[in-house]
Structure 1
């Protein structure tokens, strides 16, 4: 006995005969009759009283029919749930991210919320390369937004947009009024830099090294939020992604662009190459890749 036989049987009862059920099921009447006889043989009792005009349920058939409808209803619900799992997986998409995408990702997620209102989006800060690789390989996240190109056989890295690292200082800083500032002007200034292992730190040190300079590092901090707090307090100056600040610069800060190729970089989307992702998650990743633009524009 299989689910198809139960559907055939329920259709015969609902239509009151074989001819109407066969038409509804797009089967020939002999094939449908054969399927019902096979079902009766398998269960060991007669389900239908057959007359020339219609069919009626036997006493045992009425009990069987009631239970069959319950099973079919459960099966319909199960098939619907399977379809939803196919589309949405667990109903959650987990994205690892660096701090600087905070002003870019809301535009993507706003669209996604409209398209998939039942999907839960979990955003997790994953900042260093070892953490990114670990999060992807251990399925902690479905994808990562990162400022590093990860060249690994099992990880695929796609460019999203370009971003600049800019100089930030207190509005009261003695250099704040200068129109053009280079690394030579700030080499001796107390400098606040991201911690070891962060790509931003590498970019900054490369920029200074390219000009034969060494920054006067006074503090390390892992988060840009902390760095900006220290800068606003006049503890030192720093270099951070322009996109982190957003379109409105706080009154307590001044930002300056610096002429250095090492301070221009790309934000990437990193995913496991061979990992299955439900369509609802693939749609979000495709949207991210399609929206290639600078978030400050």
Structure 2
């Protein structure tokens, strides 16, 4: 006994005979009649009483019919759910990201919400390279936005855009009155820098080393949010991605671009190469790549 046989039997009952059911099912009447007869042989009792004008269910057929309707209804729900899983997976997309993409990602997510309103989006902050690789391989995230180029055979790292790293200071800082600031001007300033192991720290230290300028390391912090809070309070200066600040610079902050090739970085989109991604998740990945 299979689902197709149940559908055939139910169609015969609903149409009141084999001819109407055969037309609805796009089958020949002899094929349909044979399929129902085979079903009766398999279950071991008669379902229908056949007359020249119409068919009627036997008493056992009535019980079987009710159960068949229930099974088919459940099967329809199951098929819909399977199709939803095929398109959307669990209905959740998990996106790893670095802080500086906070002003880039909203446009992409706005489009995504319109296209896939039922998808739940989880944004996870993933910073260090080891954390990124582990999050991708453990399926903790589907996609990761990072400033780390990951050279691994199982991970694709595609460039999205480049961003400047700029000097940030309190608007009341003496250097804020200058139109041009050089790295040499910062050697004695208390510097707030991202923690060891972060790519941004590497970019900054390389810029100072290339310029032959020393740094006055005063504070380490994991997050740009913390760094800006300290800068705003006049505790020190820092260098962070321009995109993190946004288009409008707050009145209490001042920023300056510094002349160093190391103070520019690429933001990448990273994902596991051979991982199956449901269409609803793959659509987000493709949209990000197309937004470059």
TM over 0.5: yes
Aligned residue number for residue 295 of structure 1: none
Q: What are the Cα deviations for residues 169-191 of structure 1, in whole angstroms up to 9, with x where unaligned? A: 11111111111112122122211
After the TM superposition, which segments of 4 or more aligned residues of structure 1 sit over 6 Å from their partners? none
State yes or no: 1:17 paired with 2:11: no
Q: Deviations over 1:151-171 (max 9, x none)?
A: 001111111111110010111
Which residue matches 1:4?
4
Which SS does the other structure have where 2:38 is aligned?
Answer: helix
With the length of structure 1 as denominator, give the TM-score of the two structures.
0.96
Query: What is aligned with 1:291?
Result: 291
TM-score, normalised by the number of residues in structure 2: 0.98
Quote the Cα distance in structure 2 between the aligned partners of 1:160 and 1:109.
16
Deviation track 1:27-84 (CA, whole Å, cap 9, x = no partner) reads 1111111100100000111111112222111111111111111110011011111111
* Stretches of structure 1 lacking an aligned partner (at least 5 in a row): 293-297
Cross-structure match for 1:252:
252
Please give the secondary structure, in 1, of the residue aligned with 2:49.
Answer: strand
Q: How does 1:1-297 map to 2 (within 5 A)?
A: 1-292=1-292
What's the C-alpha RMSD, in Å, of the aligned pairs? 1.0
1:189 and 1:195 map into 2 onto residues whose CA distance is: 18
3-state SS of paired residue (2:200): helix
Structure 2 unaligned blocks of 5 or more? none
2: CA distance between counterparts of 1:237 and 1:229?
11
Residue correspondences, number: 292
**Which secondary structure state, in structure 1, belongs to the residue aligned with residue 204 of structure 2?**
helix
CA distance in 2, matches of 1:182, 1:29: 89
